[in-house]
């Protein structure tokens, strides 16, 4: 009887271990199996559940062993108004506090929901709401830092062409080009409100990047409606690592975002250098938006 009891305990234990091991791995839409350690590391450098679910293999392999800590963040809540829907050359950009931003956004979306019957009609409104966040993550115990710029359209823009996102940094730091990665994500829904997620990746070898000594930036073509499929929930992020090359007591990450307001098919020239972003032709773009994440460090 004692042998049977011991055997039952061993079998139950084996089943429990096997069950836990299976549950500890999560597979995303690209077939990547995340271990608990992978998830812990990736979340420590800012990845959300949606970003993990859409993660491609190149990004996974480059970041799965990176463990970090968020040490600085700067968020801007931006509202852009086009007083004349037929004249996108004239716009008013207002920075709001979080409470006002959320209250105005909720009220506007609720009003639209009540007065409009189709997704197409909702897409024609000319007030835009954008959340721009720049973060600094300490990695390798402060030997390196990962910089991340995230743009989330809380109410998507009417004009969706080439937007520019980037991060500038100080001359005491060196960007590591092999670590740069960007992604744009969106949702498309049909008239029956059946929705699917989609994305575009911009890996380290993508031609959409422009890099220089004190800044990295990339362009992205915002998705547009196709037939009976209407776009919702556009967001993007860009990230890369920097390491110190000369004595300094601080880390700065200057986040930049520039939105194309004219609905013309152009090939923009752009660059980011420290505190500045340059986009040409400039008259096709809204005034650039900027953030500044900052932290003092010990040399």
pLDDT tens column, 47-59: 999 999 999 999 9
Residues 49 and 138 in one domain: no
pLDDT tens column, 70-103: 999 999 999 998 877 667 667 889 999 999 999 9
CB distance 256 to 219 below 8 Å: no
Q: Which two tokens stand for residue 134?
A: 């720049």
Measured distance CA(198)–CA(173) in Å, rounded: 34
**CB under 8 Å to 292, separation ≥6 — which residues?**
74, 134, 252, 253, 254, 255
132-161 exposure pattern, b = at least 16 Cβ within 10 A, e = fewer: bbbbbbbbeeeebbbbbbbbebbbbbebbb
Domain boundary among 41, 66, 91: 66
Per-residue pLDDT at 120 exceeds 60: no
Owning domain of residue 15: 1-66
Q: Comparing C-alpha atoms, which of 121, 123, 145, 118 is closest to residue 134?
A: 145
Overall average pLDDT of the 143-152 stretch: 97
Residues 184 and 291 in one domain: yes
Cut 0.85: pTM above it: yes
Residue 150 lies in a domain: yes
Domain boundary among 44, 66, 88: 66
Sheet with 215-221, strands from edge to edge, namely: 209-212, 215-221, 162-168, 250-258, 289-296
Overall average pLDDT of the 123-143 stretch: 87
Number of structural domains the chain divides into:
2
Residue 169 region by backbone torsions, left for phi larger than 0, else alpha for psi between -120 and 50, else beta: beta
Tokens 């505190």 appear where? 275
Residues 60 and 161 in one domain: no
Residues 46 and 151 in one domain: no
Residues 160 and 283 in one domain: yes
Residue 98 lies in a domain: no
Mean predicted lDDT score pLDDT of the chain: 88
Q: Which two tokens stand for residue 277?
A: 């972003």
Residue 224 lies in a domain: yes
Residue 163 lies in a domain: yes
Residue 97 lies in a domain: no
Residue 125 lies in a domain: no
Measured distance CA(116)–CA(30) in Å, rounded: 36
- pLDDT at site 299: 67
Residues 284 and 164 in one domain: yes
Q: Give the CATH number, domain containing residue 241.
A: 2.60.40
């Amino acid at each position: 009887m004692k042998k049977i009891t011991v055997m039952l305990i061993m079998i139950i234990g084996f089943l429990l271990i096997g069950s836990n091991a299976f549950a500890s791995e999560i597979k995303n839409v690209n077939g990547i199996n995340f271990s608990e350690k992978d998830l812990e590391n990736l979340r420590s450098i800012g990845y959300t559940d949606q970003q993990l679910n859409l993660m491609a293999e190149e990004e996974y392999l480059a970041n799965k062993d990176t463990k970090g800590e968020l040490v600085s963040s700067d968020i801007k809540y931006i509202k852009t108004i086009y007083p004349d829907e037929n004249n996108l050359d004239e716009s008013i950009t207002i920075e709001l506090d979080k409470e006002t931003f959320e209250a105005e956004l909720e009220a506007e979306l609720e009003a639209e929901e009540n007065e409009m019957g189709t997704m197409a009609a909702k897409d024609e409104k000319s007030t835009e709401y954008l959340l721009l966040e720049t973060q600094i993550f300490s990695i390798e115990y402060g030997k390196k830092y990962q910089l991340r710029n995230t743009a989330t359209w809380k109410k998507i823009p009417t004009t969706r062409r080439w937007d520019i996102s980037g991060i500038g940094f100080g001359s005491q730091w060196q960007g590591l080009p092999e670590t740069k990665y960007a992604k744009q994500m969106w949702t498309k829904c049909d008239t029956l409100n059946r929705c699917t997620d989609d994305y575009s990746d911009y890996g380290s070898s993508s031609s959409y990047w422009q890099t220089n000594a004190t800044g990295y930036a990339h362009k992205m073509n915002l998705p547009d409606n196709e037939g009976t499929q209407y776009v919702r929930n556009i967001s993007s992020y860009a990230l890369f690592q920097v390491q110190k090359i000369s004595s300094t007591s601080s880390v700065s990450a200057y986040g930049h975002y520039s939105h194309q307001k004219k609905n013309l098919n152009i090939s923009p020239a752009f660059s980011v250098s420290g505190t500045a972003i340059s986009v040409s032709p400039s008259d096709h773009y809204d005034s650039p938006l900027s953030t500044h994440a900052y932290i003092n460090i010990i040399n």
